[in-house]
Amino acid sequence: MSLLYWLLGVEAPGTVVRATEWVLYPARHVGIAPLVALTAVGIAVAALNLLPQNVGRWRTRLALFCIRLAGFALLGLMLCQAELRVRIERAAKPLVAVLTDTSGSMGIRDAGGLTRLEAARAFRDGPLARLHEQADLLPYSFDWDTRSGPERRDPTGGTRLIEALAQVARRESDLQAIVLLTDGNDTAGTRVSLVAPLLASRGLPVYPVVFGSPGPPRLARAMFTDAAPYVRLGDELRLAATLSAGEWSGQAVRVLLLEDGRKEPVAVREDVRLGPEPAEVSFVVKPSRAGLRTYRIAVERRPPQPSGVAPHVLLSAAEHKVEVVAAKIHALLVDIPRDERKILGHWLARDPVVDLATLTLLPQGGWYAQGALLQKDVADGLPARESDLFRYDVIILGDVPRACFRPGSDMAETRMQRLVDFVTRRGGGLVTLGGQSAYAAGQYQGSPLAAIVPFVVEPTRETQAPGLFKAIPTPLGLSHPIMQLAAEPSTGLGSGPAASRDAWLDLPTLDGCNRIERIKPGATLLAIRELEATVAPASQSAIRNPQSTIPVIAIQNVGRGKVLSLAADTTWRWEMMRPAEGEDHFRRFWGNVVRFLAPDPRIEPNRPQVLRYQSRSAVGERITLATRLVDAAYNPLREAELVVKVTSPSGKLLHIYPRDGRDAPGLYEYAVTLDEPGPWQVAATYAGKTSAQEIVAGESDAELDDPRAMPEAMAELARAMGGKVFTPGDVDSLLAELKLPPRRLTTTASIALWNLPATMLVMVALVAADCFIRKRRGMV
């Protein structure tokens, strides 16, 4: 049968097991008349051999008759361009896909002196090449994307291992097995159960070969731990990171901070010693222009170094993107004439990112206004119009009697209620200071203001706690951004709990405070005052303070804003009584306060913006962006006609029409899949106003957060998909496992019989036979 298939022109006839469903049909329509004429001529020409004039024997004459009929039949076959359709079943070698992981963790050198990728390549091109004798191999490579053919790139980027398996299974319908050369990392975090049913339903086993060490990672690693998403132009930006030593433990490294890809660093830390525990480093920089800035921490090895290692070898790097906003903090200080107002107002007015306005209640009545006021009417203190009040970011309320909120017999205390709305709806920051007319001393219990401060305002027999004291930070307070007063000695930059604790203990004493019994549930106590044993609480409340302490500083979130309350009103002593050569902790504290309480300057009324939840954006990741829409009164805009236009690096355009939800009114979230490397443009448009942001999709460094090899995860994957996990040394067992049955391939072939070389040979053979017989028998 193989000879017949060969004569019919079937490709690889030796692999054909059987052929069925033979169908003969004309490819060209010639009509009945030509066929009838050809048949008549053929019969007539063949019948000449039967005439009495022929002297040959009847057997010879009948043979010539049949030969001529066959020749004319073949001519008819060629005239109709006859074709044969046949269903062919073949036996072929098993088809096995070999997937090679080229992600970032495969670049770790822990595979017998080779990187994991080098070891995988050596395994694929060496021992695994023996598999060619028994199977057809399809090479694939993958990281965040899946590519056919052998890999030709260095190990970079994240891993989408499970997605790669699913893609290969969809592309190759005849696969019988998959060999996976990997370390087991999957930064996408896709669950095995999502793809296992697809592969199991096809009987497609997966055989992972795991490279690398499952022990603790030996890779040096830099990671940002504290970095804000935005900073105001002219302000200091604090960036903190941790450095993991890996195999470089005990070595001195050089840490550089680079901005926007420039080669010259903006800051350098020399001789940072790496140890068993992660080293903490921090930088303080002041961006010089507005816009999106990219800061990169690079860790370089410093001399002395082992032989053969050049100086300044890059060990690790990390990036963080910060939006620099050209917007100052509009602060309003409302107080009476006293030292706290004078010193606090003096230094806040000199803060480079604060526009300060002050309203001072005069002893004989009336208000004295100074600074960058955002309202025209100051006769009654706080702005009467909500729109004027909402133009401020932070309001500091000093020792102001409650009666000041009732101008013109306004018993509804409208201005106080608007102050509450300023916090809850506007998202503004409010600071309340202690004093003779503050909290319970000013009869604020039961007021709208008392409802939002973190202190419980309740009647007391004694409203003041006189005497000198030190504010003692709580354990939670030491780590709060507001309470960070000093640099950490181990780093020399930034701040830390240990240095801040020492700074608080070194502060001058405060003089007296309001007597506060407790804070509200949900509030955070930042600092306390310890009472002496002879001093007893004097609250009329049934709940007393068993620790003999008074809350001094507390904070809580209220609605969209924050409220910070101080029981003291003499923080000016920190400034005026500090040593001449000492640190200015007063300015640092109040700078922290206004910066922490100020709302996000990127959110403006009736204007869209593009907010990012994560700084890192890697190719292949699906990132979530958001736009918050508010009206002029900072009410959320529901069901707004927001249009988001996403342009990929290759120019592909995608329009998204997001919607807000009931639980988050005015917040429009949308996801973008960064499936191309390079700059992506995201533009949000609402009511004719557009805000755009560029997102650069680069190589992911999340792959190296935990780069250990994961044989246990691969064993679970293999079990779920009917395979087994192997090590590079188990190649013989792997080859034995891959002794698969031949593939059965069924195809339909169309054979042009009229155009075959065999057809022409048959025609020539018929003519030659006719001539030979007639010549041999002496027939004309």
Q: What is the DSSP string of 164-232?
A: HHHHHHHH-TT--EEEEEE----TT---GGGTHHHHHHTT--EEEEE-S--SS----EEEEEE--SEEE
Find all residues with CB under 8 Å of 284, minimum gap 6, and list them: 236, 237, 238, 239, 267, 493, 494
pLDDT for 779 equals 67
Angstrom distance (rounded) from CA 377 to CA 374: 9
Give the other-Cβ count within 10 Å of 740's Cβ: 15
CB distance 692 to 686 below 8 Å: no
Work out the end-to-end distance of the chain between its first and last CA atoms, rounded to an integer number of angstroms: 40
The H or E element that residue 424 is part of is helix 414-424
* 221-325 fold: Immunoglobulin-like (2.60.40)
Handedness of CA 409, 410, 415, 420 (dihedral sign): positive
Cα within 13 Å of Cα(306), Cβ side? 3
Superfamily of the domain at 607-701? Macroglobulin (MG2) domain (2.60.40.1930)
Angstrom distance (rounded) from CA 455 to CA 111: 60
What is the block-wise mean pLDDT of the chain (780 residues), using blocks of 10 residues? 73 74 81 83 79 73 83 82 81 89 86 90 92 90 86 77 88 90 81 67 87 76 83 92 78 88 88 84 91 88 52 69 94 96 96 95 90 85 90 96 83 90 95 95 93 94 92 93 72 59 92 94 94 48 54 96 97 92 91 96 92 80 92 92 95 95 92 88 95 82 75 89 91 90 79 81 85 73
Encoding tokens for residue 151?
């890999």
CB distance 243 to 278 below 8 Å: yes
pLDDT for 231 equals 94
Does the model's pTM come out above 0.75? no
Q: List, by residue range, all CATH 3.40.50.410 domains of the chain.
A: 94-215+708-741
Closest CA to 502 of 514, 484, 520, 527: 484
* Three-state secondary structure call for residue 672: strand
| For helices 757-776 and 58-79, angle between their N-to-C axes, nearest 10 degrees | 160
Give the other-Cβ count within 10 Å of 31's Cβ: 7
Q: List, by residue range, all CATH 2.60.40.1930 domains of the chain.
A: 607-701
Angstrom distance (rounded) from CA 509 to CA 578: 10
**Cα–Cα–Cα angle for 314, 320, 322, rounded to 5 degrees:** 145
* 329-532+546-597 fold: Rossmann fold (3.40.50)
Angstrom distance (rounded) from CA 676 to CA 357: 49
For the CA atoms of 445, 448, 454, 456, what is the dihedral angle to 10 degrees?
20
pLDDT for 25 equals 78
Q: Give me the CATH code for the 94-215+708-741 domain, please.
A: 3.40.50.410
Cα-based distances in Å from 216 to 186, 274, 276, 515, 522: 17, 16, 12, 53, 39
Q: List, by residue range, all CATH 2.60.40.10 domains of the chain.
A: 221-325
pLDDT for 540 equals 38
User: Which residues is 573 bridged to in the sheet?
Assistant: none
CB distance 708 to 216 below 8 Å: yes
Torsion region of 81: left, alpha or beta (phi above 0 gives left; psi -120 to 50 gives alpha): left
Pairing outcome for strands 82-92 and 16-26: antiparallel
